[in-house]
Amino acid sequence: MIDVRALRENPEPARASQRARGANPGLVDEIIEADAARREALQAFETLRATQKEVSKSVGRASKEERPAILARAKELAEQVKAAEAAANAADAEADRLARLLPNLVVDGVPVGGEEDFVVLRHEGPAPRDFAAEGFEPQDHLALGEGLDAIDTKRGAKVSGARFYYLKGIGARLELALMTMAMDQALANGFVPMMTPTLVTPQVMGGTGFLNEHSDEIYYLPADDLYLTGTSEVALAGYHADEILDLSDGPKRYMGWSTCYRREAGSAGKDTRGIIRVHQFNKAEMFSYCRPEDAAEEHQRFLAWEEEMLAKVELPYRVIDTAAGDLGTSAARKFDCEAWLPTQERYMEVTSTSNCTTFQARRLGIRERREDGMAPVATLNGTLATTRWIVAFLENHQRADGSVYVPDALRPYLGGLEVLSPVGR
């Protein structure tokens, strides 16, 4: 949630942010008007209530002749106060509803536009391989995974439906290897490892900003009034809800390891083969609570840690600055790392890191005590490894015989294996 007082004093940055996102700048004026109506209704209620208290106090001092009129006035005021309180509550609810519709304000430098308007900051890692020069046609990750007996989508669909799968044998070991390597890196950089809940309340899910435009992506259990999380960011953001943090020694950093669930609504026909876009996957997620003035620097650290992981896996990738219209509700800026996918000749997102400034903390009541009083903290998140990494790993490190090279950094996590060999060879 945005700071309504700051919005009132200077609404233009919010209007500019909405224009950059391709969203309605008029929402800013609606919020300001609703806030004015809220304050006016509250003032009217408080004025009537003060008058009611004075009249009630005067009953005991009134003469016998004056008392009936004063009692009648007190009764009339009680009804007016009740109506004014209801009006104030309704105005407050409407102002809050509108304020929660406004996405976070994008920071300076974020590209304007939609999904295709990102800016490529740089290319990193080894150069994409020229398979034609190597003398063979690359297989896609599913064909390689089936050859390794590592991925089984047919039985996944039989048991759970489309976009479910089994990782088995070396596939299961490979995912655990990537996730464990991510945890070791997080530990080395001061993160507290967390196995997080994957079911959260509407208050926590809404507080992180996922119940706006992304609500159709989320699995909801109406009998329990709980949501399945699509990232451990949600549970980690809720971990310190309604708390006062001590950040005097620097950011509080957590790494969440969890299974994630996404409905993938609206993605029919996109990446349906294999395990690129699935309903269930595992993810290692970094999360930080820090002071707002330190958030931009912390964001760069998160990106560097993501790139450190990608370097260990020896993947060719690019770093993009996501355009405003493609940011989630809570993000003020987002950098993605996209790995090269040889069989599709395109880049595919494998990590994402977002600076959410104070947006989530305001909604969740997470503050710190500072010299000038209480203030909301900033929150950031970033990916260290996911199931999807297996896709890029297999395709980029394949050999002509269907085997797959294992980078040096990953070998200790796979019992020293240097090559993954097809089953039966």
Contact 27, 99 (CB under 8 A): no
Contact 196, 237 (CB under 8 A): no
Q: Is 300 annotated as a binding residue?
A: no
Question: Which member of 262, 333, 362, 363 is catalytic?
Answer: 262
Q: Supply 53's token pair.
A: 């208290």
Q: Is 141 annotated as a binding residue?
A: no
Q: Is 212 annotated as a binding residue?
A: no
Distance from C-alpha of 212 to C-alpha of 216, rounded to nearest angstrom: 9
Q: Is 393 annotated as a binding residue?
A: no
Distance from C-alpha of 283 to C-alpha of 230, rounded to nearest angstrom: 9
Distance from C-alpha of 148 to C-alpha of 403, rounded to nearest angstrom: 8
Question: Which member of 39, 49, 277, 399 is catalytic?
Answer: 277
Q: Is 175 annotated as a binding residue?
A: no
Measured at the CA of 253, the angle between CA 250 and CA 258, to 5 degrees, comes to 175
Q: Supply 403's token pair.
A: 């085997």
Distance from C-alpha of 113 to C-alpha of 169, rounded to nearest angstrom: 44
Q: Is 231 annotated as a binding residue?
A: yes
- Annotation marks residue 354 as catalytic: no
- Annotation marks residue 15 as catalytic: no
Helix (H) or strand (E) holding 284, with range, is strand 280-290
Pairing of β 333-341 and β 346-355: antiparallel
Q: Is 264 annotated as a binding residue?
A: yes
Cβ partners under 8 Å of residue 304, min gap 6:
none
Q: Is 353 annotated as a binding residue?
A: no
* Nearest alpha carbon to residue 357 among 334, 332, 382, 321: 332
Distance from C-alpha of 114 to C-alpha of 116, rounded to nearest angstrom: 6
Question: Which member of 352, 354, 368, 395 is catalytic?
Answer: 352
Q: Is 338 annotated as a binding residue?
A: no
* Nearest alpha carbon to residue 287 among 211, 213, 190: 190
Q: Is 79 annotated as a binding residue?
A: no
Q: Is 350 annotated as a binding residue?
A: yes
Classify 358 as helix, strand or coil: coil
Q: Is 351 annotated as a binding residue?
A: yes
Pairing of β 119-124 and β 317-321: antiparallel
Q: Is 229 annotated as a binding residue?
A: no
- Annotation marks residue 352 as catalytic: yes
Q: Is 180 annotated as a binding residue?
A: no
Q: Is 307 annotated as a binding residue?
A: no
- Annotation marks residue 155 as catalytic: no
Question: Which member of 308, 349, 399, 411 is catalytic?
Answer: 349
- Annotation marks residue 262 as catalytic: yes
Question: Which residues are annotated binding-site positions?
Answer: 231-233, 262-264, 278-281, 285, 349-352, 381, 383
Catalytic residues: 262, 277, 349, 352, 388
Question: Which residues are annotated binding-site positions for ATP?
Answer: 262-264, 278-281, 349-352
Question: Which residues are annotated binding-site positions for L-serine?
Answer: 231-233, 262, 285, 381, 383
